[in-house]
Amino acid sequence: MVISSFAEVVNLIFVAIIFTVIRRTRKMGMILMITIMILAILVSYMKPLVAQPKPPESQKIPALPSGFHLESDSLLTEARNFSYPSNHTAMITAFAYIVGTILQQKTKKYSFLIWVLPPMVMFSNLILGLSYVSDLIGGLLIGLAISIATSNILKLQVPFVMNRFKTAHQ
């Protein structure tokens, strides 16, 4: 459950805020935050349209330790009883793509390790009975598509340069 909870919207927004505060990772943090918000809205509105009910096993989640709760997979109350696409999978895939792209620019040697996260969250959700395989694949594809689109539109691979001094152009 700890693995699944890492992919919650609140946790990833918090990580994006931390990246945004740090000057070296500011642009990545902003793009990550925008991507998470787009995905949260898109997935929340897609779920009632597809209307695939959650697996019956999702109702049998054991009691969680004190002070720990698993966020609902959706922000809209109308979407909470549906499972396609998996919000957790979409979020962690977008996180892996955006952070992985920057890591690949910095250190090619270990950049692939970030891609361990999406399969871990997918496997965790499957074992917990929170999602069907189709939900996980849908979340993976949507997360990848939106993160690639926002990264290209906002030019993730171009360094963020902020000129502190205004120069007079003549």
What average pLDDT is seen over the chain? Answer: 79
Flag whether pLDDT at 148 surpasses 70: yes
The enclosing H or E element of 28 equals: helix 26-50
For residue range 11-52, what is the model confidence (pLDDT) as tens digits?
888 889 998 898 888 888 999 999 999 998 898 888 878 777
The reported pLDDT for the residue numbered 158 is: 73
Reference 85, options 43, 55, 123, 127; nearest CA is: 43
Q: Find out whether the peptide bond into 85 is cis, omega within 30 degrees of 0.
A: yes
Flag whether pLDDT at 54 surpasses 80: no
The reported pLDDT for the residue numbered 157 is: 75
The reported pLDDT for the residue numbered 129 is: 80
The reported pLDDT for the residue numbered 121 is: 86
The reported pLDDT for the residue numbered 68 is: 52
Q: Cα separation of 147 and 86, whole Å?
A: 15
**So where are the chain's domains?**
2-54+73-153
CB atoms within 10 A of CB 53: 11
pTM of the model: 0.78
For residue range 21-30, what is the model confidence (pLDDT) as tens digits?
988 888 889 9
Mean pLDDT, residues 90-110: 87
Flag whether pLDDT at 170 surpasses 60: no
Contact 46, 82 (CB under 8 A): no
Contact 50, 84 (CB under 8 A): yes
